[in-house]
Amino acid sequence: MPGAEDLVVGIDLGTSTAKVLVLTASGEVVGRARATYIQYRPRPGWVEQSPDDWWDAVCRAVRESLRSVDGRRVRAVGLSGQLNGVVLVDERGHPLRNALIWLDQRAAEQAQRVQSEQTELLSRAGHGTVTGVHVLPKLLWHMENEPKLAERTRYILFPKDDINLRVTDEVATDPSDPGAVAMLDMGRRNWAYDLLDALGIPTAWLPPVYESPEVIGRVTQEGAVATGLPEGTPVVAGAGDMAALAVGTGVVKPGTGCASIATAGHVAIHLDSMPDAMDERLWLMCHAVPGKYFWHGLVLTGGHCLDWFRISFGQAERAAAQLLDVDEYDLLLSNAARVPPGSRGLLFLPFLDGVATPYHDAAARSAFIGATSLHRKEHFVRAVLEGVAHNFRDSFEIAASMGVVIDEVRTGEGGSRSKLWRQILADVLGREVVPLRELDCSALGAACIAGAGAGVWRDLESAVEAAVHREVPVAVNAQHQAAYEVGYALYREAYVALKGLFPKLSG
């Protein structure tokens, strides 16, 4: 292995922030930075971002991350990007319009049409339910509503691929992005040409597919000037953010899984091969590890639930935090830590904006159930943490029912900073949970993918061994686990009981 002086750069292009990590070959983070960008909402349900805003943020963040290191030592660059966004580019590689991102719901009608008319081809390609979130119906919306732009389109790119094009002048993608948007033949890990032909999507629009660690080009002179990266540095295909998250949490071999608590919560459970049977309650994803897969579970408003509660009801903690110069989250959580498991009979359904896995119910809503005059704010806070943990458990229960063995669960991203939330997660899952040192897991995964592709590490497993550092595991408290067995059953029963009411509340 090359010496520790070699560096790799991982870039994660998220929904609101570009995050950059610089790693040594021994796996230590020696540079980091982030830069934000905005969303544009021209109509209700329409959510767009400017690829030029992405590029500006990436350039600023990369330059900042390299400020304290010798950039000439960078040996590889890898990108991770938000899923289910689409960029239309012309012959020169310039965007023709803002990108429709995953939050955009304008293609709901097209999604219903694809689902009803192409069920067999979707199933044959390894896909289940198609919704307005997916890029596939978004492309149909473009073709039907913006035909002149469609005529000028040369390629369709996913968010990370637009940045790769600007850095290298090369058009490419990896299996994880089209695999997540219902456009890939999951078994062959290449485009689902039969499905796309049936829908009239031009195959000339499709970039070539490379495995995530494959080098697709090198930093051009123009890319070097813009970013500060050395000209000629290898750039790998990279991965969608969930595949990069799986790498950055060390979910690269059988028996491993993660429960990541960010704005949304994410579950990734490693699969060594395509499953024999599909289960539409989870999403099958192509891994960044060549030839591998993982089950993906989505807790739609995971960490956002606590943030929503803090903003809506945490005024006293906010004022006290400013006075005492402490973190308002710490005040909320320290009080909640004194509440017994089960929050004295208070239950929370964490469905602020609907529920993804396992129910896939856009009409679902959050609810506090069981409140009495004895409950105080700290009970509600703990109930929020417990409700989110119950939704995480759903994905692990489904995987176990399919015979998937999970020996170790890791946790990362911002929500895992909370000692209380980590303990609740372990107790609800009924299994030891391993925190990770680095919480920007998708950026870390992108760096690992880059280093593996450029030979800094032998392969992705070696990259993970070097760069993904485990902290002290959180053991299960048996007494708490028993309480949460009851709580989990009540959580599931509560959803069933309220399911018929939710659409009426949604108007």
Side-chain half-sphere of 129: how many Cα atoms within 13 Å? 15
**Cis peptide bond upstream of 358, omega within 30:** yes
CB-based contacts of 440, cutoff 8 Å, min separation 6: 12, 19, 21, 32, 248, 413
Q: Find the CATH number of the domain harbouring 319.
A: 3.30.420.40
Together in a domain, 118 and 234 = yes
The region that residue 145 occupies, defined by phi over 0 for left and psi between -120 and 50 for alpha, beta otherwise, is alpha
Q: What is the pLDDT of residue 66?
A: 98
For residue 500, pLDDT beyond 90: yes
The residue from 216, 249, 282 where one domain ends is: 249
- Evaluate whether 153 touches 215 at the Cβ level (below 8 Å): no
Q: What is the pLDDT of residue 128?
A: 86
Q: What is the pLDDT of residue 267?
A: 97
Taking the C-alpha atoms of residue 325 and residue 31, their distance in angstroms, rounded to an integer, is 27
| 297 belongs to a structural domain | no
| 450 belongs to a structural domain | no
24's enclosing H/E stretch is strand 17-24
Taking the C-alpha atoms of residue 345 and residue 342, their distance in angstroms, rounded to an integer, is 6
Taking the C-alpha atoms of residue 186 and residue 73, their distance in angstroms, rounded to an integer, is 37
pLDDT more than 90, % of the chain? 90
State pTM to two decimals.
Answer: 0.93
pLDDT single digits (tens) 358-398? 998 988 999 999 999 999 999 999 999 999 999 999 999 99
For residue 475, pLDDT beyond 80: yes
Q: How confident is the model at residue 507 (pLDDT cuts 50, 70, 90)?
A: low
Q: What is the pLDDT of residue 1?
A: 41
CB-based contacts of 384, cutoff 8 Å, min separation 6: 305, 306, 309, 348, 350
| 466 belongs to a structural domain | no
The region that residue 183 occupies, defined by phi over 0 for left and psi between -120 and 50 for alpha, beta otherwise, is alpha
Mean pLDDT value of segment 307-319 = 93
Joined together, the tokens standing for residue 405 give 């063995």
What is the CA angle 471-330-35, rounded to 5?
A: 75
| 470 belongs to a structural domain | no
Q: How far is CA 250 from CA 193, 431, 436, in A?
A: 33, 17, 9
For residue 3, pLDDT beyond 50: no
Structural domains counted in the chain: 2
| 85 belongs to a structural domain | yes
CB-based contacts of 254, cutoff 8 Å, min separation 6: 270, 272, 405
The residue from 209, 234, 249 where one domain ends is: 249
Together in a domain, 218 and 319 = no
| 368 belongs to a structural domain | yes
Together in a domain, 365 and 492 = yes
Together in a domain, 162 and 240 = yes
- Evaluate whether 440 touches 19 at the Cβ level (below 8 Å): yes
Q: What is the pLDDT of residue 192?
A: 98
The residue from 214, 233, 249 where one domain ends is: 249
Mean pLDDT value of segment 290-306 = 94
Q: Domain span at residue 430?
A: 302-435+477-505
For residue 2, pLDDT beyond 80: no
Together in a domain, 203 and 326 = no
For residue 413, pLDDT beyond 90: no
Together in a domain, 30 and 169 = yes
Q: What is the pLDDT of residue 148?
A: 97
Mean pLDDT value of segment 157-168 = 99
For residue 35, pLDDT beyond 50: yes
Q: What is the pLDDT of residue 496?
A: 97
Together in a domain, 63 and 172 = yes
Q: How confident is the model at residue 279 (pLDDT cuts 50, 70, 90)?
A: confident
For residue 280, pLDDT beyond 90: no
Residue 398: how many CB atoms within 10 A of its CB? 19
216's enclosing H/E stretch is strand 215-218
Together in a domain, 234 and 312 = no
Together in a domain, 227 and 314 = no
- Evaluate whether 91 touches 156 at the Cβ level (below 8 Å): no
Q: Give catalytic status of residue 241 as yes or no.
A: yes
| 293 belongs to a structural domain | no
Mean pLDDT value of segment 317-324 = 91
Together in a domain, 77 and 160 = yes
| 467 belongs to a structural domain | no
Taking the C-alpha atoms of residue 174 and residue 192, their distance in angstroms, rounded to an integer, is 14
Taking the C-alpha atoms of residue 68 and residue 62, their distance in angstroms, rounded to an integer, is 11
- The one catalytic residue among 104, 241, 394, 440: 241
* Beta strand segments in 50-122, E: 74-81, 87-89, 99-100
Together in a domain, 243 and 344 = no
Together in a domain, 193 and 335 = no
Mean pLDDT value of segment 36-50 = 94
For residue 463, pLDDT beyond 70: yes
Positive or negative: CA dihedral 39, 40, 43, 46: negative
pLDDT single digits (tens) 344-361? 999 999 999 889 899 989
